[in-house]
Amino acid sequence: MPNSEAVYFNGNYSPKNQTSLSILDRGFLFGDGVYELIPVYNKHIFYIKDHLNRLKSSLESINIDSSLVDDDEFIKIINSLIELNDYVNHYIYIHISRGVDKKRNHIYSKECEPTILIMGENYKPFDKSTIEYGKKAIIEDDYRWLKSNIKSTSLLANVLIKNKAFTDDAYEALLLRDQYLTEGSASNVFIVDNGVIKTPKLSNKLLPGITRKFLTDLIIENKLDFEECDISKDQLLTSDEIFCSSSTNPVVPITRVDNNVISNKAGPVSMELYNYVQEFIRETYK
């Protein structure tokens, strides 16, 4: 396709720069939709079943029938995009909105046909020296809604918070609700405390990250000490290590939080996990 990658949009493949949407799409008007972001490693789709299951659960949570996601069909579409665009290490973005409505109205009409967009995006994960150096984070109040377990496209609060972090030269904002850690603005958060890896337990206050699950699998497989528990601001700031996890960068050590130094470089447990991740990707997606 000339000058543009192919995207999948409502049953057809079209060039990314020529695919457009109705102004009455509820995703555009209300952020009324959900999404997924799935890494592709060496042309292979990462943890696809988990991503599709989370997508279906997000759809059900906003009253959209999840049977529109047929696993085999979606995998076929993603593989077609990988082939058509020659993706090697990209990520795939799936966006499903409630669809185009008759008029702008908070109350949605039952006849809305969901809009489905699937496209790839180029990205470059941090290199190992950046990981070893570690990143800065800031602490912010978690003022998002109480359904943060839904991977909703309504991301205004996350966008504002992440931009605040960016303005402060930080990679991420670590969010506190009632003085307890929930997650980052676009990542889950882990700490290491006396050799024990800890992360907040799943609830309506945080996204069930697929990388969080992947890391948990690696932690259990490698018999590291692990606990899902409440983490106070004080525990966060006095921990031995902190790292963030997300699909684009599975382990990002945080060495500075606001004006506090956590460690002068990435800690040993964070680096051990980072290396397990790299090894898993190398060995699984040859």
Q: Catalytic positions, please?
A: 151
Return the number of the residue (99 or 250) whose C-beta is nearest ligand PMP: 250
Q: Does 263 bind ligand PMP (CB under 6 A)?
A: no
Q: Does 137 bind ligand PMP (CB under 6 A)?
A: no
Q: Does 246 bind ligand PMP (CB under 6 A)?
A: yes
Return the number of the residue (207 or 266) whose C-beta is nearest ligand PMP: 207
209, 245 in Cβ contact below 8 A? yes
Q: How far apart are CA 182 and CA 210, in angstroms?
A: 16
192, 219 in Cβ contact below 8 A? no
Residue listed under structure tokens 């570690």: 134
Out of 5, 183, 193, 241, which residue is the one contacting ligand PMP (CB under 6 A)? 183
Q: How far apart are CA 172 and CA 256, in angstroms?
A: 11
Q: Does 211 bind ligand PMP (CB under 6 A)?
A: yes
Q: How far, CA to CA in Å, does 123 sit from each of 77, 206, 225, 245? A: 20, 24, 32, 16
The one segment of 21-29, 123-131, 204-212, 274-282 that binds ligand PMP by CB under 6 A: 204-212
Q: Does 186 bind ligand PMP (CB under 6 A)?
A: yes
Q: Does 207 bind ligand PMP (CB under 6 A)?
A: yes
Q: Does 270 bind ligand PMP (CB under 6 A)?
A: no
For residue 280, give the amino acid letter. F
Q: Does 249 bind ligand PMP (CB under 6 A)?
A: no
- The b-or-e profile of 15-54 (16+ CB within 10 A means b, else e) is ebeebeeeeebbbbbbebbbbbbbbbbeebbbbbebbbbb
Enumerate residues 6+ apart whose C-beta is below 8 A from 71: 48, 49, 52
Element (H, E) at 30: helix 26-30
Out of 85, 97, 115, 187, which residue is the one contacting ligand PMP (CB under 6 A)? 187
16-75 residues near ligand PMP, rule: CB under 6 A = 37
Return the number of the residue (10 or 248) whose C-beta is nearest ligand PMP: 248
Q: Given the rule CB under 6 A, which residues bind ligand PMP?
A: 37, 158, 183, 186-188, 207, 209-212, 245-247
